[in-house]
Structure 1
Amino acid sequence: MATSKVLGYLESSKNLAGGACGLLGLVLTFTGVAGPYWPVVVAGLYGAGALIAPPERPALPDFPSPSAQLDAVREDFAKLGGYLTDVDLPPALRTRLTELTDVLGALLEPGWVAEVLAQDPEAVHALSRAVRQDVPEAVDTFVRTRWWTRLAPGAEPPERHLERQLDLLRQEAERLAAELGETEARRQESHTRYLEDRGGNRNGELSA
């Protein structure tokens, strides 16, 4: 470990900058400027060079990119689909669940939509949370609660809660899709203004 530290310092910007300044001190020595104090001059210039050199910057952690995160969410969405297929749901709830998963699946579809999504880390996080936490937790809680209500009839139907949860999650997913669509619309408007400004500037140059 000590050897690696020494080698690391020898390759560092501080040592390189100090060595360059120390070399300048040797030049001053050979030209007679440093005089008998040349060791002090060389050492001082080396130290000054090492001090003014920028500090070494550790490499940033290699976190997965938003696109790579989307790939992982897409795999988990496939697993979620297998789980949801095995769950026994009333037809009305199955319809609502399908409406939700259709929106989530469309957002995760590989292609230009996913490319737009990958540019928004908050959107990727929201989609990941829906797939990995919100949907499975809502369905699993319903399954467990329904078993208890069968033992104690008269309690509030768990179907009502799951129906509301699925509606809220679908609205959230649709809102996310709408926001991404607005981002694309703003990009289109910006390109239109750019072309208009460019055309106006060119017309002004021609008239001049």
Structure 2
Amino acid sequence: MVAGLYGAGALIAPPERVDRPYFDDTAAQLGVIREQFRQLEEYLAEVELPPSAGGKLAELMELYGALLEPGWVADVLATEPDAVHALSRGIRLDVPECVNTYNRTRWWNRLTPGGESPERHLERQLSVLYDEAERVTADLREAEARRQQTHTTYLEDRGRS
């Protein structure tokens, strides 16, 4: 009987609570991304790129830098995890991969010319990344516009009460 009561108590007792894992908050992630951005800038300063791609890369890096600049823009960025992810992926993976594959492919093209030029691929890749960064910026601007509209509606509703 005691064993039965013990078994019944074990079945109806709540399970042991396991603490959820701790993940860095988005603001802390932005600090890491800023440091990675600085490393990327140092790397890009050492790499030889064609002038046609250099302009698009400069525009892309300027946009990334503006989004990461400490202040209210970064605060808005920190509220959008998808935007932070897109920015992080661009800085940590996409831009370095574009530049590295360009340099490797350019070397191979010197040995066996032909096919589509590595410069053209690099320009296309950087254009796609720039377009993505512009979409992130537009989404952040739209989120701020929605916040403003919501606050206006709140104030108008409050004034009617």
The CA distance in 2 between the partners of 1:197 and 1:86, in whole Å, is: 57
The CA distance in 2 between the partners of 1:50 and 1:168, in whole Å, is: 58
The CA distance in 1 between the partners of 2:7 and 2:99, in whole Å, is: 66
Runs ≥4 residues deviating over 3 A:
45-56
How well do the aligned residues superpose, as a CA RMSD in angstroms? 2.1
Structure 1 residue identity aligned to 2:66: A
Q: Which residue of 1 aligns with 2:128?
A: 168
Q: Which residue of 1 aligns with 2:70?
A: 110
1:49 is displaced (CA, Å) by 8.1
1:104 is displaced (CA, Å) by 0.8
Task: Give runs of aligned pairs for residues 91-170 of structure 1, distance below 5 A.
Answer: 91-170=51-130
What TM-score results when the alignment is normalised by the length of structure 2? Answer: 0.90
Structure 2 unmatched runs, 5+:
none
Q: Which residue of 1 aligns with 2:19?
A: 59
Which protein is bigger by CA-based radius of gyration?
1
1:50 is displaced (CA, Å) by 7.8
The CA distance in 1 between the partners of 2:41 and 2:117, in whole Å, is: 25
Q: Identity over aligned residues, as a percent?
A: 63
The CA distance in 2 between the partners of 1:161 and 1:50, in whole Å, is: 64
Task: Give runs of aligned pairs for residues 3-22 of structure 1, distance below 5 A.
Answer: none
Structure 2 residue identity aligned to 1:130: G
Structure 2 residue identity aligned to 1:117: L
The CA distance in 1 between the partners of 2:72 and 2:17, in whole Å, is: 36
Q: Does 1:85 align with 2:45?
A: yes
Aligned length: 159
The CA distance in 1 between the partners of 2:71 and 2:7, in whole Å, is: 55
Structure 1 unmatched runs, 5+:
1-44, 202-208
The CA distance in 1 between the partners of 2:100 and 2:11, in whole Å, is: 61
